[in-house]
Amino acid sequence: MVRLQRLTTEYDAAQDRIRLSGLDAERRPHLIWLTRRLLRLLVPALVRWLEQHDGVVQAAVVQSFAQEVARAGIVPQTAVNAASGPAWLAQAVDLGRAGDLLSLSLRDGAGATVTVMLSARQLRQWLSMLQHGAVQGDWDLAEWPAWMSPELAAPEGSTVLH
């Protein structure tokens, strides 16, 4: 199993897709593309995981505050360059729980899989970056919860998540 340690999330206008550039533990690059269609299915599942993370569905105001705290904690870092690694289109995503972490396994149709382990705070930060990409692509934001205000999405240059 390939587990990504660093992850850069960017919208690519030419592809009209989200590009995930990641490095595994051996510092090998991986490039995975996420389509709008896949994100329409994935985002609600990620939001449900967050909303139920502590075993109790939290009010929107609590979710909004937690989202703002996570967004404020994003530290801009150098982007991962995955140009020399394998590139593929994610066709399926498996979600799991590993203790207090979300296990996110992205798969293609030919057997390639990468896994990312995210704490609730990291997931909130990543969701901000995904939403920022969706806003850049002028995608429909219907699947995004009201407590994730799009005008507050991650600022430019803050697309690296460790």
pLDDT at site 1: 80
Cα(151)–Cα(118) distance, rounded to whole angstroms? Answer: 24
pLDDT at 101: 95
Which pLDDT belongs to residue 149?
73
Provide the 3-class DSSP secondary structure of residue 98.
strand
Closest Cα partner for 43 from 156, 135, 123? Answer: 123
From CA 20, how far away is CA 151, in angstroms rounded?
22
118 φ/ψ angles, rounded to the nearest 5 degrees: -130, 135
Domain limits of the chain? 2-144
pLDDT value, residue 54: 60
pTM, full prediction = 0.80
d(CA 135, CA 100): 29
Which 8-state DSSP code applies to residue 114?
E
Mean pLDDT by 10 residues, the chain (162 residues): 92 96 94 96 93 65 67 74 85 93 95 94 92 94 82 48 50
Question: Locate tokens 């550039």: which residue?
Answer: 21
